[in-house]
Amino acid sequence: IDQPNVITCKAMVAWEAGKDLVMEEVEVSPPQPQEIRVKVICTSLCRTDITAWESQAIFPRIFGHEASGIVESVGEGVTEFVKGDHVLTVFTGECKTCKHCESKKSNMCQVLGLERRGVMHSDQGTRFSVKGKPVYHYCAVSSFSEYTVVHSGCAVKVSQQAPLEKICLLSCGVAAGLGAAWNVADISKGSIVVIFGLGTVGLAVAQGAKLRGASQIIGVDINPEKYEKAKCFGVTDFLNPNEYNEPIQQVIKRISGGGADYSFECIGNTGMVTTALQSCCDGWGLTVTLGVPKTNPEIASHYSAFLSGKTLKGSLFGGWKPKSDLPSLVNKYMNREIQVDEFITHNLPFEDINKAFTLMREGKCLRCVIHM
Ligand code: APR
Ligand code: ZN
């Protein structure tokens, strides 16, 4: 059997919070037991990469978690993958054996869940180094590198026919939005939906709501440039809070006849969670959170929201179990049942990744796909 060697390749390394990534020659270790090494083909930039790069303290680090690639080698004990398989990486894995993986109610794998310390799940080590210095991971994916190592439970095998330069979006943002609409909220036909934040995540919720037959989809964003794109994903009413002299929840209550059936926070602003809760109706109004805040992590609400029967529900990755559910989402894309291409506003070569950061920070893109 061939023993995989260390690979030297190019990666975009973050050395400091908020500073441009730097292209470096990195050494990528062979995959350890139960791990696979993946040649990254495409990675798209997600807002959460930017949030972590701006606000966290773990450096040097390789960000990137929304990606597609091809298996280059497999570690000991891996039976699910062989060299050449096409995969999507996932920031929250599925071990298939823990209590949560066995439950229909959860996608919060207790073994391969969201990794926050910048290391691999199995041994708390890293698989990257630059000139002998360890480089930390992000969400145990780190796709801003030509090659990366991931746990085999954090990759999903997909059809070889599916275009990797498009379906990378299903590895995080688009899947998260569709899943929040379908699995978490379970939107019913004829509903009124309000979405705070019309980035890729919010517009994927809109698409999910439209496909469920929602009658009104209200989109709230402070960037008026988002409206054109929002229409093509099903948003029927666009509200810019800066254009009103009254609280936006009051406007929403008025145009929805007493509040929305469902509201979604897709900004990452905990103040907006409160607003979202106030925008839905008494009795059955449901607010789902998808955003990841950078600051002010605590959520405030008057208890009367709950006395009047409202529900606040959290979600991660739209409730999807990645291995069990993502292949069918890829098939839906292949059958043209869901739109993915329309979220891609820019395609950039790997060396221009800092441009993607700028575009997203300036609100000028939905998804930038980086081609390695
Ligand atoms: N009010 C209304 N809209 C806002 C506000 C605000 N105060 N602040 C920002 N927005 C809008 C932005 O104009 C943008 O259109 O929210 C949208 C956020 O979209 P993106 O930055 O493209 O982010 P996206 O990738 O869609 O992620 C949204 O989900 O996964 C999490 O970490 C992610 O918290 C982030 C959220
Ligand atoms: Zn599990």
Q: Mind listing the pLDDT tens digit for each residue in 86-141?
A: 999 999 999 999 999 999 999 999 999 999 999 999 999 999 999 999 999 999 99
143-169 pLDDT, tens digit per residue, is 999 999 999 999 999 999 999 999 999
Cβ proximity of 15 and 326 under 8 Å? no
Is ligand 1 within 6 A of the CB of residue 171? Answer: no
Ligand at shortest distance from the CA of 323? 2
- Answer yes or no: is the C-beta of 197 below 6 A from any ligand 1 atom: yes
pLDDT tens, 349-369? 999 999 999 999 999 999 999
Residue type, 369: V
User: Is residue 231 within 8 Å of residue 207, measured between CB atoms?
Assistant: no
> For a pLDDT cut of 70, what percent of the chain falls above it?
99
The best mutation among 172, 174, 201, 368 to test binding of ligand 1, ranked by most ligand atoms within 8 Å of the C-beta, falls on 201
Answer whether 0.95 is exceeded by the pTM. yes
Q: What number is the average pLDDT over the span 195-218? A: 98
Q: What is the rounded CA–CA span in Å between residue 213 and residue 190?
A: 6
The response to whether residue 315 sits with its C-beta less than 6 Å from ligand 1 reads no
* Residue 59, token pair as written in the block: 């450096």
Mean pLDDT, rounded, for 295-306: 95
The helix-helix angle for 270-278 and 248-255 (nearest 10°) equals: 30
At residue 4 the predicted structure's pLDDT band, cuts being 50, 70 and 90, is confident
At 1, the pLDDT band (50, 70, 90 cuts) reads low
97's CB contacts (< 8 A; 6+ apart) are 111
Minimal-distance CA residue to ligand 1 atom 19: 199
- Strand pairing report for 35-44 and 128-130: unpaired
pLDDT mean over 320-348: 98
| Distance from residue 126's CA to the centre of ligand 1 (Å) | 31
266 Cα–ligand 1 center, Å: 6
Residue 179 is given by DSSP the state: H
User: Which ligand approaches the C-alpha of residue 106 most closely?
Assistant: 2
Nearest-atom number in ligand 1 for the CA of 293 is 34
Rounded-to-integer distance, Cα 306 and Cα 314, Å: 15
Q: Is 199 in the pocket of ligand 1 (CB under 6 A)?
A: yes
**Quick check: CB of 139 below 6 Å from ligand 1?**
no
User: What's the confidence (pLDDT) of residue 3?
Assistant: 74
**pLDDT at residue 2 greater than cutoff 80:** no
ipTM of the prediction: 0.98
